Amino acid sequence: MRLRHIEVFHAIMQAGTISGAAQLLHISQPAVTKVLQHCELQLGMPLFDRVRGKLYPTPEAQRLFVEIDKLNRDLVAIRRLAANLRSGESESLRLMATPTLGASVIPAAMTHWAQAFPRSRCQLSTNHTREIVSALLLGEADLALSLHDPRHPGIKAEALATGTMMALCPLHSPEAQGSGPLPLEEIQSELIAMAEDDPIGHMLHNASEAEGRHLDSRITVQTYQLARALVEAGVGMTVVDPFTAASADRSRVKVRPLAPAMSIQLYLLTSASAPLAQAARRLVNYLRDAARANLESLDD
């Protein structure tokens, strides 16, 4: 039996008449009759006895109906699943991010996503880029955010937003007394530094070397949030990504772009062999919007 035969047979069994089946299927009575006749012809046996305009199922039809009813429920479930996949509902996503992006970009994006897709689920986690790459390759994450393009053949990196590195200066520091971009040669306060193998630490080290300067630092940290917190406590100044800078407490910290300007990008990382589903792409749109809103807040 073809799918159309199954639908018509099931509708007739439910309605008991050709006209009732036509109403259930939203098609004409002649169309129902034609499909039923074709179905019986293919099976080589009658499925209904016709008595005074009513259809009475044969014993064979009764037995068929038991299995077809199960199949029809499965078809309804498949159609519902397809509709949910198309709309992005009932989908489960696994999103990873570096700690600073998990704290600065993801909350605003998830607020909008959760409202738009109340039946969808998302598993969030933070880690460093090296571990994120491993999770994507092993299929333990669907998408991730990082400030570093790992340039791995198995990873696709898509730039979502571009900003510049920012200096965070305690309000009592000499760097906080000026305005506009902060030149490297004007840095006097002790620097809270990132490790040189960190993307920002590496960029700052190269920039200072090019200027013929060596930026002194007694304190080295692993996360940008810790660097920001130390500046807010008045320990020293630091240079961070614009997303961390956007969340700094302006009552304690002055934010200035660094000079010369050093560009940094927010990357969406995915497995090169696993294209994103519709629900994931919709989440990416919210992540992009949240990242750009962070950058725009620095101009206020």
Interval 203-253: pLDDT, tens: 887 777 777 777 778 898 988 899 999 999 999 999 999 999 998 999 999
What is the rounded CA–CA span in Å between residue 209 and residue 5? 77
Contact between 298 and 246 (Cβ < 8 Å)? yes
- pLDDT for the residue 54: 77
Average pLDDT over the chain, rounded to whole?
Answer: 86
The alpha carbon torsion through 189, 190, 194, 197 (nearest 10 deg) reads 110
Residue 257 pLDDT exceeds 90: yes
In eight-state DSSP terms, residue 121 is E
Structure tokens at 93: 């996503």
- Report the pLDDT averaged over residues 82-111: 80
Tell me the H-state helices in 154-211: 199-210
Residue 52 clears pLDDT 70, i.e. is over it: yes
pTM (2 d.p.): 0.67
Q: What percent of the chain has pLDDT over 90?
A: 39
pLDDT in tens, 263-294: 999 999 999 988 888 778 889 999 999 999 99
Of the candidates 88, 90, 116, which has an alpha carbon nearest to the alpha carbon of residue 289?
A: 116
Q: Which of 170, 167, 174, 127 is nearest to 148 (CA)?
A: 127
Bridge partners for 94 per DSSP: 123
Distance between CA atoms of residues 57 and 142, nearest Å: 51
Q: Residue count of the chain, please give it.
A: 300
For residue 158, what are the β-bridge partners?
Answer: 268
- Give pLDDT, residue 107: 93
